[in-house]
Amino acid sequence: MVDHRPADLVVTEVRLTPVLVADPPLLNTQGVHQPYTPRLIIEVVTAGGATGLGETYGDAEYLALARPLATALVGRKVTDLNALAALAAHVDGAAGTAGPDGVDAAGLRGVRTADKLRRSVRSGFEVACLDAWGHATGLPVHALLGGAVRDRVPYGAYLFYRWERHPDGLGEPDDWGAALDPAGIVAQARRFADRYGFTSFKLKGGVFPPDQEAAAIRALAAAFPGRPLRLDPNGAWSVPTALQVADALADVLTYLEDPVSGTGAMARVAAGTTIPLATNMCVTTFEELPEAIARDAVRIVLSDHHYWGGLHATRELAALCRTFGLGLAMHSNTHLGISLAAMTHVAATVPDLDHACDTHYPWQTEDVLTERLAFRDGHLDVGDAPGLGVTLDRDRLAVLHHRWLADDGTYRNRDDAAAMRRVHPDWTTPPVPRW
Ligand code: GKR
Ligand code: MG
């Protein structure tokens, strides 16, 4: 144990650095990813000289909440995570709106309330505090969460329909190529399997008519017999469409993720199929759990430590899932290595992690770390280095921050519909259900 005095754990400075990160042209039901996506990097510095890293969404409304929270945290201890939660719950800076169908037009992240935005911001600060605490004590974050129950965490390949390049020569090119049909999706999956050893596959759907996406799942089943497969149209289907797809793919899908939008519609699909339903859209807050449980709407909750409020909140969710017989796995949005490390630490401590976690990380060719996290046989090892076990690359951070500073506002808020309008000028976010 490293020798330190309690006063050393007091926060003396919090640095917030918004960045724009290159993102490929990944398609989803609302449009296409923009060439750059915003993230916020949080650094918490203690009196003892430890620095902790956190990461969360970087859109303007998150930044507006992060700034006052950063000020309020100075003078508190990095160990005082309950105080952080209380501070974050009352911080002012943005108001959210819950759409009638629960679909978040900006990011497919379920309901959008001011409270949920605050929790997403809090999560980045909590991770930074835990990282600093770990550096101060020489302990890995998983130890601060109660200890790892596994020494590696399984991740799955997150397959996307995509264009080869962003239009108009924008963004940073990559070598993945286009994937717009079943053969393209299988080729992408092979590449994920060869590069990273992933053995389970999730296809982001809601892009093409459901029969085409079902054909892609069939092609994956033929190419990877017996492997876990999932399909996620982000709530784009009607109940009858979802039941038809479920029927057609009952023998090959491990679960169907958010086939329809809203707890009521999910409950109706759940009642009519044997395929388990998973969600990162209709259950994204503790307040939404009772109704989903009462209506038997979902079998698996895909936690995301960002919007559930952090790593401790994720463990609380895991306990509730265990209590009510729900499965647990993890959702991801576009993110960098700090968030991936945080996911890995908390996933290492959750006893019932029932499925490989999602991650967008392989799609991100850029990071703010000196060393990228490396998948081995579809897993990330759970290390024992202090804190999160990652190191900030200040030069890379400066480059990505400079991109954010230079941006005229086009990319500072994620907007998949706006990106789609570059190719289809009349594009608007499709109605729900779309099919
Ligand atoms: O990145 O296009 C995307 C995804 O659709 C993302 O926004 C979702 O939040 O990955 C997510 C999901 O599983 O729904
Ligand atoms: Mg999803």
What is the overall mean pLDDT for the chain?
95
DSSP secondary structure letter of residue 235: T
Q: Please, which pLDDT band fits residue 388 given cuts at 50, 70 and 90?
A: very high
Q: CB-based contacts of 10: which residues, under 8 Å, 6+ apart?
A: 46, 47, 75, 76, 77
Centre of ligand 2 from the C-alpha of residue 29, in Å? 11
Quote the pTM value: 0.96
As for the ipTM of the complex, it is: 0.93
Residue in 32, 37, 108 to alter for ligand 1 test, most ligand atoms within 8 A of Cβ: 108
Amino acid letter, 231: L
| Residue 17, pLDDT score | 98
Q: CB-based contacts of 154: which residues, under 8 Å, 6+ apart?
A: 200, 353, 355, 356, 357, 378, 379
Q: Which atom of ligand 1 is nearest to the CA of 33?
A: 2
Strand 152-154 and strand 157-160: pairing?
unpaired
Question: Using CA positions, which residue lies closest to atom 6 of ligand 1?
Answer: 333
What are the φ/ψ torsions at residue 44 (nearest 5 degrees)? -110, 125
| Residue 101, pLDDT score | 35
The single residue of 204, 312, 355, 360 carrying the catalytic annotation is 204
* pLDDT tens digits, one per residue of 91-118: 987 454 443 333 444 447 777 888 999 9
| Residue 3, pLDDT score | 64
Centre of ligand 2 from the C-alpha of residue 258, in Å? 6
What are the φ/ψ torsions at residue 18 (nearest 5 degrees)? -75, 140
Amino acid letter, 270: A
CA–CA distance from 193 to each of 67, 98, 218, 266 (Å)? 41, 38, 17, 31
What's the whole-number mean pLDDT along residues 308-327?
98
**Other residues' Cβ atoms within 10 Å of the Cβ of residue 351:** 11
Strand 277-279 and strand 300-303: pairing?
parallel
* pLDDT tens digits, one per residue of 262-312: 999 999 999 999 999 999 999 999 999 999 999 999 999 999 999 999 999
Q: Which two tokens stand for residue 171?
A: 């963004």
| Residue 144, pLDDT score | 98
Cα dihedral 100, 38, 141, 193 sign: positive
Cα dihedral 332, 333, 338, 342 sign: negative
Q: Say whether pLDDT at 350 is over 80.
A: yes
Centre of ligand 1 from the C-alpha of residue 333, in Å? 5
What structural domains and CATH numbers belong to the chain? 6-142+394-406 (3.30.390.10), 146-381 (3.20.20.120)
Residue in 237, 333, 335, 357 to alter for ligand 1 test, most ligand atoms within 8 A of Cβ: 333
| Residue 99, pLDDT score | 39
The single residue of 116, 135, 331, 335 carrying the catalytic annotation is 331
Q: Which atom of ligand 1 is nearest to the CA of 331?
A: 13
What are the φ/ψ torsions at residue 339 (nearest 5 degrees)? -65, -35
Active-site residue, 77 included: no
| Residue 5, pLDDT score | 83
d(CA 97, CA 305) in angstroms, rounded, equals 21
| Residue 104, pLDDT score | 47
Centre of ligand 2 from the C-alpha of residue 424, in Å? 25
| Residue 98, pLDDT score | 40
Active-site residue, 202 included: no
What's the whole-number mean pLDDT along residues 191-201?
98
* pLDDT tens digits, one per residue of 135-189: 999 999 999 999 999 999 999 999 999 999 999 999 999 999 999 999 999 999 9
| Residue 112, pLDDT score | 80
C-beta separation of 232 from 207 below 8 A:
no
What's the whole-number mean pLDDT along residues 231-258?
98
* pLDDT tens digits, one per residue of 24-58: 999 999 999 999 999 999 999 999 999 999 999 99
| 202 beta partners | 158, 230
What's the whole-number mean pLDDT along residues 218-238?
98
Question: Using CA positions, which residue lies closest to atom 5 of ligand 1?
Answer: 28
Please, what's the b/e burial string for 303-325 (b: 16 or more CB within 10 A of its CB; e: otherwise)? bbbbbbbbbbbbbebbeebeeee
C-beta separation of 81 from 46 below 8 A:
no
d(CA 286, CA 116) in angstroms, rounded, equals 10
